[in-house]
Amino acid sequence: MARISSILSVCLLGFAMLGACTTAPDPAVVEQERLAAFTQFKKQAEFDIRKLLSAQEAAWNRADLDGFMEGYLPTEELRFGGGDNITWGYAETLERYKSKYDSAEKMGQLSLEVQELKLFTETDALVFGRWFLSRPATGDANGLFTIVLEKQDGQWLIVSDHSS
């Protein structure tokens, strides 16, 4: 009888411990953890997107259009709008840049100023800002840009660019 009592005690203790393990988490704690994780993700995403834009500036400023285009989605789905023209596709967009900016003097020195960077999801973002070209030989230029980015295979890429 003592043995049965011991077995029952162990079983009851086990069930009590199992019950303690399955207690629902505190919703407030779960929400705090979720917000902390998203805040960390958001900081990293903003850093990565700004790094992409800085790399584009640097490539442009060394007159490297191929390097500049590394920030764009390399498929036919890429859309670029400028003035009253829409260009579809990576190759077509690169060709557009090369025909319009066929010399370092025409390219000048690019400076991008981010006005707003908004994350919609973990893979979708929008950047609105200003661009400036310092071109002593051909005249300075400036305007606005709105780019839509997608994170693909761990890398943020521009899928749509509207510059005016």
Domains of the chain by residue range: 26-163
Name the β-bridge partners of 109. Answer: 134
How high is the pLDDT of residue 111? 98
Contact 158, 73 (CB under 8 A): yes
How high is the pLDDT of residue 3? 53
**Mean per-residue pLDDT pooled into runs of 10, the chain (164 residues):** 52 50 75 77 94 98 97 97 95 96 95 97 96 95 98 97 96
Q: Which long-range contacts (CB under 8 A, 24 or more apart) does 137-141 make?
A: 137/105, 138/105, 138/106, 138/108, 140/108, 141/108
Can you give the pTM of this predicted structure? 0.78
Cα separation, 164 vs 153, in Å, equals 30
Domain 26-163: assigned CATH number: 3.10.450.50
How high is the pLDDT of residue 12? 47
Cα separation, 4 vs 130, in Å, equals 79
How high is the pLDDT of residue 1? 53
How high is the pLDDT of residue 21? 55
How high is the pLDDT of residue 100? 94
